[in-house]
Structure 1
């Protein structure tokens, strides 16, 4: 993807400075030519990024810029940084100062993209536990972004995208025992509609094919192992088919992700967290991207956390962040030219 295809740079939030985010951002910029990455700017602390690069044994040049528009001019020679407050960089040692810096970076990065100073938002990993300690009142970054964009978080969809597979968990962070009670035909229909629309608009797939997984083993085996398929999932599929969507299912989840099946759909809608995340992490762990669908802005993130335990040890793989940057740029180009 040519960098001039973007009218504005991507905006990256710093993430928790005690995690792997800063070092992976530095590694991504260092690999910008080899990976063909579009121009991006980081909202945060240049010194933190330079120190993080040093822990990986790489040299980077940073340049503070006054406006996001300047990023494209300097990107080839220096990592553009939109400066906020200085933050201490102690890999593997999270605290309130780092969490505050992460929150300020997320807030400003979101504002820049909402006001069209950036083409898309890429968020580095944060610690929900640490953010709560500094007054963050949201379950996660997705809910924060939805609120800042003026929509209900229930209207957004998490999609995990990798080279081999795209999955959508319909229920996310809840106990497995609570999943059946949270499922409804309305939930499946609304999430499928958002997913199909995003695959068309942002992924360039004219007629998206959605595979919908069953909840129970063997998709219920005709009611032998549960009635959720007949009572909830099949009526949802019928409604989607009646509305002209290309959907199939309910599929037995144990076979849905086999190589010969993955080519038959563009995204798999899964009933719970691990049903969606286990296959994507097994197949594409170092290239998995978390995309938030349904927002008026584009947002991607690497599909991993802060990894405090390996921060600063030159172990973390930048592949998922590089993939998130690349995908955000591709989505921005499609949306701009759509």
Structure 2
């Protein structure tokens, strides 16, 4: 029988990750959430539940007990380095436990103990202060996937919702650096990874990719910049030559209204805000961060640690619940595709 259990990392314990995990468990029957096991500190999680008045029994378990206990308690795999934290007070001393939980989640998925990995938000600044050497969560996951002599994959960030999915080709870089970083090769490789994962893990036989231009009006025939004709259009042509249904470059300001969205499965935008502003406008509470291109499935809430509201009981678990549902759906689709 295939394992349906999801591994959920604690994220930064001073952020909202622990409390939205408790809230998600309370909503498990109402929202028909898949079974998940929390990777963190069981005593700290139980204490937080009591502090917030959440009637969540927390049970420390082994991997072989996690799925069976989910209906009656929130199962926790104890992470040795995870320690109690004060909500809203980030501390570099918590970094070791944050990293260990991520490593344990990846190891569990690779070993078949869990079907997919769902990660709660981390604070990169906190990890940097403790000596973390990776640019972010996604790059760390790619490095973990490449351990043991395997090639390090190129991860691709997709923000997904029921009404819109977007991929920024360049991500967390200054806007001034985008034109130099944006190459035809980068766009093509990103498009190939997106098309492959949409087919394998989303069940879309022939994914439709819409690519935005970099400049206003997609360059207006070169009058507003040369990159759209010289970089983006050749990438579209190469993707089409590979049998991928790619179109563009389109003016970004007309790509995201309802009629336009009906014409594609995912929008590839050339920089961060070009992709994330529309989806956070359309699906602010329900967006899911999905990492494509990894040998395992990884989703995450599309929000940060929210230290300012952590521990106050006002955080919303919507995005985490959506991330859990999507991870389970992707795992099921991937299994069916392999059959």
Fold shared, TM-score > 0.5 on shorter chain? yes
Whether 1:221 aligns to 2:220 is: yes
Match in the other structure for 1:84: 79
Match in the other structure for 1:144: 140
Whether 1:50 aligns to 2:49 is: no
Inter-partner Cα distance in structure 1 for 2:242 and 2:102: 38
Match in the other structure for 1:247: 246
Inter-partner Cα distance in structure 2 for 1:56 and 1:274: 35
Match in the other structure for 1:156: 155
- Paired residues of 2:6 and 2:37 also in contact (CA < 8 A): yes
Local SS of the residue matching 2:222: coil
Structure 2 gaps, min length 5? none
- Paired residues of 2:145 and 2:152 also in contact (CA < 8 A): no
- Paired residues of 1:214 and 1:229 also in contact (CA < 8 A): yes
Inter-partner Cα distance in structure 2 for 1:185 and 1:279: 24
TM-score by length of 2: 0.95
- Deviation at residue 203 of structure 1 after TM alignment: 0.6
Inter-partner Cα distance in structure 2 for 1:153 and 1:272: 23
- Deviation at residue 53 of structure 1 after TM alignment: 2.6
Alignment partner of 1:115 out of 107, 111, 116: 111
The structure 1 segments of at least 4 consecutive aligned residues displaced by more than 4 Å after TM superposition are 151-154
Local SS of the residue matching 1:285: coil
Match in the other structure for 1:269: 268
Inter-partner Cα distance in structure 1 for 2:51 and 2:235: 51
- Deviation at residue 54 of structure 1 after TM alignment: 3.4
Inter-partner Cα distance in structure 2 for 1:127 and 1:181: 28
Whether 1:21 aligns to 2:17 is: yes
- Deviation at residue 170 of structure 1 after TM alignment: 0.4
- Deviation at residue 165 of structure 1 after TM alignment: 0.5
- Paired residues of 2:118 and 2:300 also in contact (CA < 8 A): yes
Match in the other structure for 1:59: 55
Match in the other structure for 2:211: 212
Describe the superposition over 1:165-224 as per-residue Cα deviations: whole angstroms up to 9, x where unpaired: 000000011110110110111111110010011111111111100000000011111111
- Deviation at residue 89 of structure 1 after TM alignment: 2.7
Describe the superposition over 1:296-315 as per-residue Cα deviations: whole angstroms up to 9, x where unpaired: 00000001110101101122
Alignment partner of 1:36 out of 13, 32, 39: 32
Match in the other structure for 2:319: 320
Whether 1:127 aligns to 2:123 is: yes
Match in the other structure for 1:203: 202
Match in the other structure for 1:337: 336
State the aligned residue count: 333
Local SS of the residue matching 1:42: strand
- Deviation at residue 152 of structure 1 after TM alignment: 6.0
Inter-partner Cα distance in structure 2 for 1:167 and 1:182: 19
- Deviation at residue 52 of structure 1 after TM alignment: 2.8
Q: Which moved more, 1:132-141 or 1:225-234?
A: 132-141
Alignment partner of 1:96 out of 84, 87, 92: 92
- Deviation at residue 8 of structure 1 after TM alignment: 4.1
TM-score by length of 1: 0.95
Structure 1 gaps, min length 5? none
What does residue range 303-318 of structure 1 map to in structure 2 within 5 Å? 303-318=302-317
Inter-partner Cα distance in structure 2 for 1:21 and 1:154: 27
Match in the other structure for 2:68: 73
Describe the superposition over 1:100-139 as per-residue Cα deviations: whole angstroms up to 9, x where unpaired: 2211211111111122211000000011011112222111
Q: Which moved more, 1:247-256 or 1:107-116?
A: 107-116
Inter-partner Cα distance in structure 1 for 2:125 and 2:151: 23
Inter-partner Cα distance in structure 2 for 1:73 and 1:106: 23
